[in-house]
Amino acid sequence: MENQRLTYSSYKHKNTWKFLVRVAPNGVTTFVSKAYPGSISDKKIVKQSNVLNQMVPGDMILAKVF
């Protein structure tokens, strides 16, 4: 029951897992985070994944929620 609560997304109204994926302009996947339970915020995933520490000047962030 605890796992069900952790993975429940109030936005999607079902149990989900989330990943953070970074893709280069040429379409190459350059980063895939570990799986996070659906109840965690996207902001927390970005902070916990340390993906921002890998950015260099000129990099941009575009967000898409599916």
pLDDT for 2-42, tens place per residue? 778 888 888 888 899 999 998 888 999 999 999 999 999 99
Domain ranges of the chain: 2-54
Q: What is the pLDDT of residue 66?
A: 61
> What are the strands, taking DSSP E only, across 1-66?
8-9, 14-15, 17-18, 21-23, 29-32, 36-37
Q: What is the pLDDT of residue 18?
A: 92
Q: Which of 25-29, 52-56, 57-61 is the least confident region?
A: 57-61
Q: What is the pLDDT of residue 37?
A: 94
